[in-house]
């Protein structure tokens, strides 16, 4: 499996290094044929190449079997004309990674903030309110006058149908429950289309129980009773916000693993951002990117029929849980270890399992 590794900004390099320590452990344990290629995006790329992402990286990513992308700064990269391109958008759009799969669950040994739960947010990843990716040319945000601004939200039936199918396929491997999260009471046209498309696809899966919840009510329900939910399908911005909440409810945003998947390609990327407030301090929780990498290995293993990759992904998952249980974890989940030592403890556990 060829993997392109891009560490990113803020805590990105720290959690990427930690992820590689864990990845080497599963490679050794399961004799995985891994071929890792390393490159740069974000500030490191800007410094070396004058742009936050070189266009040629898209070809490299497409040729690889998967990408590991560390979090990158998204606030400061504003002017694409000056080479300030959002790397996350660049790969998601460039490789048509339409499904953002964000599982959140509670862990043994970590007192959950709202009790035990295990759900997956399936977020549409290529359109919606994301101004930098929802137009063929130009940008979906318009400054009409210095004091009047408009943001355009694009919803297309084809994108709704394919994300709905991804959610239903996932639900068939889980508890066969899908919740559609939307705001069709206000956004009647766009979210009306989203809900209709989800229901249309779900009709192909009579075993699945479907319900629909307004996004604002969802914020209350998921805090009140997260066990009610299994697979939650929603549009881009709602999914981004909801999955930060579910990750934090599971214990920490640092547990937010996420996979960006398309028909042909996939990219592991933590659910959170570059966390500049804790960058360089060796306190960031690497679990998010390790869990994302576990999802990538599982995706590749299932796609190619290579069970050892699926087993490696599961081993990473189990090792994270065991580490939290043993207190061999970062401070956000009740431990006292640094980022690097947490990963080394995890690697040791995997090798000795
Ligand atoms: P960006 O501008 O890149 O989105 P941000 O700081 O606005 O960065 P996040 O990076 O998502 O947003 O961080 C939100 C909060 O969660 C911050 O307090 C951050 O320190 C914390 N956080 C995020 N990731 C982790 C992690 N892996 N481990 C521990 N804390 C984290």
Q: Structural domain tally of the chain? A: 2
Ligand 1 atom nearest residue 332's Cα = 29
Nearest to 258 by CA among 104, 132, 130: 104
Do 129 and 86 fall within a single domain? Answer: no
Residue nearest to atom 27 of ligand 1 (CA): 254
Residues 271, 258: contact at Cβ < 8 Å?
A: yes
Q: Which residues pair with 148 in a beta bridge?
A: 145
Count of helices and strands (H, E) across the chain = 11, 12
CB proximity list for 192: less than 8 A, separation 6 or greater: 184
Do 160 and 33 fall within a single domain? Answer: no
Residue 160 belongs to some domain of the structure? yes
Q: Average pLDDT for residues 14-35, to the nearest whole number?
A: 98
Residue 237 belongs to some domain of the structure? yes
Q: How confident is the model at residue 124 (pLDDT cuts 50, 70, 90)?
A: very high
SS3 31: coil
Residue 104 belongs to some domain of the structure? no
Do 92 and 157 fall within a single domain? Answer: no
| Mean pLDDT rounded to a whole number for the chain | 96
Do 33 and 157 fall within a single domain? Answer: no
pLDDT tens profile 35-93: 999 999 999 999 999 999 999 999 999 999 999 999 999 888 888 888 999 999 999 99
Q: Spell out the alpha helix ranges (H) of 100-156.
A: none
Do 196 and 141 fall within a single domain? Answer: yes
Do 240 and 139 fall within a single domain? Answer: yes
Residues 58, 93: contact at Cβ < 8 Å?
A: no
Residue 56 belongs to some domain of the structure? yes
Is there an atom of ligand 1 within 6 Å of 332 CB? yes
The residue out of 227, 249, 271 marking a domain boundary is 249
Do 194 and 274 fall within a single domain? Answer: no
Q: Write down the pLDDT at residue 76.
A: 83
Do 6 and 76 fall within a single domain? Answer: yes
88-97, 107-116, 185-194: least confident range: 107-116
SS3 178: strand
CB proximity list for 339: less than 8 A, separation 6 or greater: 11, 14, 15, 17, 18, 282, 283, 284, 285, 286, 330
Distance 71 CA to ligand 1 centre (A): 9
Do 122 and 155 fall within a single domain? Answer: yes
Residue 106 belongs to some domain of the structure? no
Euclidean distance between CA atoms 301 and 332, whole angstroms? 31
Distance 277 CA to ligand 1 centre (A): 7
pLDDT tens profile 302-326: 999 999 999 999 999 999 999 999 9
Is there an atom of ligand 1 within 6 Å of 75 CB? yes
> For strand 35-38 and strand 2-6, is the pairing parallel, antiparallel, or unpaired?
parallel
Nearest to 127 by CA among 105, 166, 97, 106: 97
Q: Is 216 a catalytic residue?
A: yes
CB proximity list for 95: less than 8 A, separation 6 or greater: 58, 61, 62, 262, 264, 265, 267
Q: Is 113 a catalytic residue?
A: no
Q: Is 244 a catalytic residue?
A: yes
Q: Write down the pLDDT at residue 133.
A: 81
Residue nearest to atom 31 of ligand 1 (CA): 254
Do 72 and 175 fall within a single domain? Answer: no
Residue 318 belongs to some domain of the structure? yes
At 213, which CATH number? Answer: 3.40.718.10
SS3 51: coil
The residue out of 214, 249, 284 marking a domain boundary is 249
Is there an atom of ligand 1 within 6 Å of 274 CB? yes
Residue 205 belongs to some domain of the structure? yes
Do 168 and 269 fall within a single domain? Answer: no
Angle at 240 between CA 325 and CA 216, to 5 degrees: 100
The residue out of 194, 227, 249 marking a domain boundary is 249
Ligand 1 atom nearest residue 9's Cα = 3
pLDDT tens profile 230-264: 999 999 999 999 999 999 999 999 999 999 999 99
Q: Looking at per-residue confidence, does 109 or 63 come out higher?
A: 63
pLDDT tens profile 286-305: 999 999 999 999 999 999 99
- What pTM, to 2 d.p., does this model score? 0.96
Euclidean distance between CA atoms 97 and 174, whole angstroms? 22
Residue for token pair 């694009």: 154
Euclidean distance between CA atoms 228 and 232, whole angstroms? 11
Do 83 and 153 fall within a single domain? Answer: no
Lookup: tokens for 101? 């799969």
Q: Spell out the alpha helix ranges (H) of 64-142.
A: 87-94
Residues 298, 258: contact at Cβ < 8 Å?
A: no
In terms of residue numbers, what domain contains 163?
Answer: 113-249
Residue 168 belongs to some domain of the structure? yes
Give kind and range of the element (H or E) at residue 313. Answer: helix 307-325
Q: Which residues pair with 120 in a beta bridge?
A: 103, 231
Q: Is 183 a catalytic residue?
A: yes
């Amino acid at each position: 499996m060829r993997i392109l590794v891009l560490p990113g900004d803020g805590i990105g390099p720290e959690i990427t290094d930690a992820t590689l320590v864990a990845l080497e452990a599963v490679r050794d344990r399961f004799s995985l044929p891994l071929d890792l290629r390393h490159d740069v995006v974000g500030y490191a790329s800007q410094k070396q190449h004058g742009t936050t992402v070189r266009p040629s990286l898209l070809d490299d990513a497409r040729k690889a079997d998967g990408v590991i992308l560390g979090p990158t700064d998204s606030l400061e990269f504003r002017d694409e004309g000056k080479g300030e391109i959002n790397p996350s958008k660049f790969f998601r759009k460039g490789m048509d990674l339409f499904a953002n799969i964000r599982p959140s669950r509670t862990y043994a040994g970590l007192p959950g903030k709202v009790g035990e739960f295990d759900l997956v947010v399936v977020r549409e990843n290529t359109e919606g309110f994301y101004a930098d990716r929802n137009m063929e040319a130009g940008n979906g945000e318009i400054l009409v006058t210095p004091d009047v601004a408009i943001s355009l939200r694009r919803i297309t039936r084809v994108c709704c149908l394919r994300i709905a199918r991804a959610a239903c396929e996932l639900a068939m491997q889980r508890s066969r429950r899908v919740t559609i999260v939307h705001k069709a009471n206000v956004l009647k046209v766009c979210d009306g289309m989203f809900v209709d498309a989800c229901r249309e696809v779900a009709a192909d899966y009579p075993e699945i129980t479907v319900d629909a919840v307004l996004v604002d009510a969802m914020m209350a329900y998921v805090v009140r009773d997260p066990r009610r939910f299994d697979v939650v399908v929603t549009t881009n911005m709602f999914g981004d916000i909801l999955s930060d909440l579910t990750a934090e409810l599971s214990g920490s945003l640092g547990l937010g693993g996420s996979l960006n998947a398309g028909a042909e390609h996939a990219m592991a990327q933590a659910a959170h951002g570059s966390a500049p407030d804790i960058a360089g301090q060796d306190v960031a929780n690497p679990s998010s990117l390790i869990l994302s990498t576990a999802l990538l290995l599982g995706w590749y293993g299932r796609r190619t029929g290579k069970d050892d990759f699926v087993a490696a992904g599961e081993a990473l998952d189990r090792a994270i849980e065991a580490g939290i249980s043993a207190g061999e974890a970062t401070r956000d989940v009740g431990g006292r270890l640094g980022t690097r030592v947490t990963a080394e403890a995890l690697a040791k556990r995997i090798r000795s399992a």
